[in-house]
Amino acid sequence: MLPNLINDLWVLLASLLVFTMTISVGFLEIGELNHKLDRSLYKTLIITGFSLFFMGLIGFNIAFAPTIGGVIGNPFYSNIFIGLFSTNLSGGLSGVFWLTGRNFFDTGLSTGTYFLFETSFASVTLALVGVVVLRKMKMSAFILFSIIYFIFIYTLPAAWIWNPTGWLYLMGVRDFAGGLVVHGAAGFAALAILVRIWQEEKKKGLKQSKIEHASLNSGWLTLAIILLWVGWFGFNPGSELAFTSETVMVVITTFLAAASAMVSTMGTKFLISKHDPGLIYGVNGVLMGLIVITPLAGYVSPGSAVILGLISGPIFVYAEKLLSRPKWYSDPVGVLPGHMVGGIFGLLMIAFFTQTAFATASGASNLPNGILFGGGIMALHQFGLEAFAVVVVGLFVFTASYISVYAISKLLKGMLQENEYTDQTINNTTKS
């Protein structure tokens, strides 16, 4: 009983750390854009509360109950107390389904603990999506989208990849802590919202949608990255769902990747610009390293984590440069080059850097060695599986998100927040 208690306590702590990441994303937005506090913090408060309520109501069941055909969790699965708000205390705290397999990993986690952990992930995911909203989208529209996201959009890819009865999981797709389910999916959802915002802006006769960086607020930006870096201590190591020696290894791989990416990001930017890259590229480098290591933190060695971090820095710098060229959308915080590109890249690297000893210790015993470790044909097959998952999840999340915001826009007769358009926005968007 004691090991189960330790695991429960560890995952509860990890859940709390991940929940702090939601508000930290708000701080990041304030720091990078020098926005007023009210809207950014209000948005993160809504996300936190809504994630708990709607994941508790039905979203958790859709994602993590035994699936129907591998596609959707049974919304009314009776052994999960969250879905039906059961008053059965013993059933509510044991969660029979979650005690049956190594990926839920023979740890004896209570359903309540696992619910809080996975809900914290859902909360962070929507916070990342919400960054691209800036001050352009009506809060009522964002609230409606949040409800749909927690019930339907986030939960189905989670059911496919993280549920041991999900169809992509059974095919062999693995995503340790959310390179695709969290970061990649957030990028695809954000892109769908950006498309709809631009369509509405074009109707107003605006020629471009670009918002340039305001002066950075270094205090908020530093606070944000410290809290996010510490929060990732729950995000990746917590995904072991147990407190073991491998949990400590995941802490090491996570932190080494972040530090290595910071070095390579700042170095790359310096070589290109011949100027001090400044705080912003230090922050973005840390974030890129954390994102890239997320889908394979439990599958690789510390040495591989350093290599991945060093590679990810230049990827961010050049992806940011490429994706900042279009004028039809604004992504000044870098959701697309950071979370979407970084999450996808990290997921695909599973096929190159995985070592079976680490993967087995993290509950992924079927993962072959990566291409760089002699995995051969099996590793190439794994690459194909991960790439297929990117296409499937990307198409689903983008399509579902676009349909949702399109319908919300029609319902509300437009989703743009007219009085929140700043003079800078108007000036930038009316230039021909």
Q: What is the mean pLDDT of each run of 10 residues along the chain (432 residues)?
A: 73 95 90 75 91 89 89 75 45 42 53 86 94 85 96 97 94 97 97 92 75 74 94 95 92 98 97 92 96 98 98 97 83 90 98 97 93 97 98 98 97 81 44 37
- Which pair of tokens denotes residue 348? 């695909």
Contact indicator for 115, 57 with CB cutoff of 8 Å:
no
Please give the pLDDT value at position 290.
98
Segments in 67-148 forming alpha helices (H): 81-84, 89-94, 111-131, 139-148
Between CA 351 and CA 296 the distance in angstroms is 10
| Residue 162 neighbours by CB under 8 Å, 6+ apart | 63, 64, 118, 169, 175, 181
Q: Residues 339, 345, 351, 354: what is their CA dihedral angle, to the nearest 10 degrees?
A: -60
* Residue 152 in tokens: 């339907």
Residue 24: in which H helix or E strand, if any? helix 2-33
Q: Which residues pair with 277 in a beta bridge?
A: none
CA distance to 79, 80, 82, 98, per residue, from 95 (Å): 6, 6, 10, 6
What's the rounded Cα separation, in Å, for the pair 19 and 45?
11
Please say whether the beta carbons of 157 and 181 come within 8 A. Answer: yes
User: 178: left (phi > 0), else alpha (psi -120 to 50), else beta?
Assistant: left
CA distance 111 to 7: 12
Q: Which CATH architecture has domain 2-415?
A: Orthogonal Bundle (1.10)
Contact indicator for 258, 232 with CB cutoff of 8 Å: yes
CA distance 59 to 75: 8
Q: Where are the alpha helices (DSSP H) in 274-336?
A: 278-293, 302-323
Q: What is the pLDDT of residue 423?
A: 46
Output the pLDDT for position 66.
Answer: 82
By the 8 A CB rule, do 301 and 250 touch? no
Those residues whose C-beta lies under 8 Å from the C-beta of residue 354, and which sit 6 or more positions away, are 296, 299, 300, 367, 368, 369, 370, 373, 375, 379, 382
Token pair in block for residue 261: 């990416």
What pLDDT is attached to residue 75?
82
Residues in the chain: 432
Q: What is the pLDDT of residue 209?
A: 66
CA dihedral of 38, 39, 45, 47, whole degrees rounded to 10: -170
- Beta-bridge mates of residue 416: 137
Phi and psi at residue 67, in whole multiples of 5°?
Answer: -80, 160
Six-digit token string for 8: 């429960």
Which pLDDT score is estimated for 214? 60
3-state secondary structure of 231: helix
Contact 63, 118 (CB under 8 A): yes
Q: Which residues contact 296 (CB under 8 A, 6 or more apart)?
A: 176, 179, 308, 346, 347, 349, 350, 353, 354
* Nearest to 369, CA basis, from 388, 359, 356: 356
Q: Give this prediction's pTM.
A: 0.90
